[in-house]
Amino acid sequence: MAELPLAPVKRIIKQSGASRVSEDAVRELRDELESHAEERARDSKQLAEHADRKTVQADDVRASR
């Protein structure tokens, strides 16, 4: 199930210079963003666990790139 709302994703696309954006394009980008975020979150969690922490910190997220 999608977590990110479509309106902010559409705004991001339009801010990049697109004058018109199809709903399919917005949904596709939303799905890609969510997939990328989930992957980074998993990697960040693993880094925190490796450091014997339960809390994911900003450094974990940055290091997950």
pLDDT digits (tens, 9 = 90+) for 4-52: 999 999 999 999 999 999 999 999 999 999 999 999 999 999 999 999 9
Strands (E) located in the chain: none
Confidence (pLDDT) at 2: 83
Q: Are 19 and 39 in contact (CB under 8 A)?
A: no
- Asked if pLDDT for residue 1 goes beyond 90, the answer is no
Cβ(60)–Cβ(47) under 8 Å?
yes
pLDDT value at position 7? 98
Q: What is the pLDDT of residue 22?
A: 98
* Residue 47 · residue 63 · CB < 8 Å: yes
Domains of the chain (ranges; CATH) run: 24-65 (1.10.20.10)
Selected residue with higher pLDDT from 7 and 1: 7
